[in-house]
Amino acid sequence: MITFPAERPAGLQRRSIRADRDLWRIDRSEPATWTWAGFATPRYRFDPTSGAFRTRYASTRRHGAARERYAGTGQVIPAAHADDHLVHLRTTRSLLVLDLRGERTQDLLGVDDQINTSRSADHFAACQDLADAAPRWWDDLDGILYRSRTTAQDSTNLAFWSLDGFDVDATRLGDASEFLADLVLHRRFTVDFAF
């Protein structure tokens, strides 16, 4: 199993995501009610092993957010999700991130590209350990940028730990008719509620 050192590997660098960049997620809760307390046991890719904080995830594309959220349902959006929220996050400043998509970063961390997409227990454990290590290496890090497993050709995902640096807006998913129509007509989704 891969674990990461207490000290940042020599040569490892951050990159920035520019201001005015759009990101998207689909969430059961409105952003105003989000909590940032971590899970006692990690659940998702970049949840920290320590449980010290909560990680949330967003995609650079709306359809990327939908594919990530509904990959486990065969791209079916259940009727019970009509009251969920399509959350639009726009960066208000440059965000500093660890970008896992490049070979140089992967080499310095001693990992391969599967750190981005593999669902194996070993890779999840490495990602969760990295979620603890990276904010320790840089105290002003905003998140971890990684390649999407579902829309790798046209979107990227961001794991982030607060709403600092974002303007946030949310629409009830059932009211996002243009977005849902695009998913059905162009992305092979099924929506189990009227919109």
Cβ neighbourhood burial of 167 (10 Å; 0-12, 13-18, 19+): exposed
Q: Is the pLDDT of residue 71 over 70?
A: yes
User: pLDDT tens digit string along 20-37?
Assistant: 999 999 999 999 999 999
Please, where are the H alpha helices in 19-150? 62-70, 103-109, 114-117, 121-137
Mean pLDDT rounded to a whole number for the chain = 96
State both tokens at 99: 């970008």
Q: Is the pLDDT of residue 100 over 90?
A: yes
15-188: CATH architecture = Alpha-Beta Complex (3.90)
Please, where are the H alpha helices in 50-120? 62-70, 103-109, 114-117
Confidence of residue 149 (pLDDT cuts 50, 70, 90): confident
User: What is the predicted pLDDT for the residue at 8?
Assistant: 98
Q: What residue segments make up the domains of the chain, in order of their start?
A: 15-188
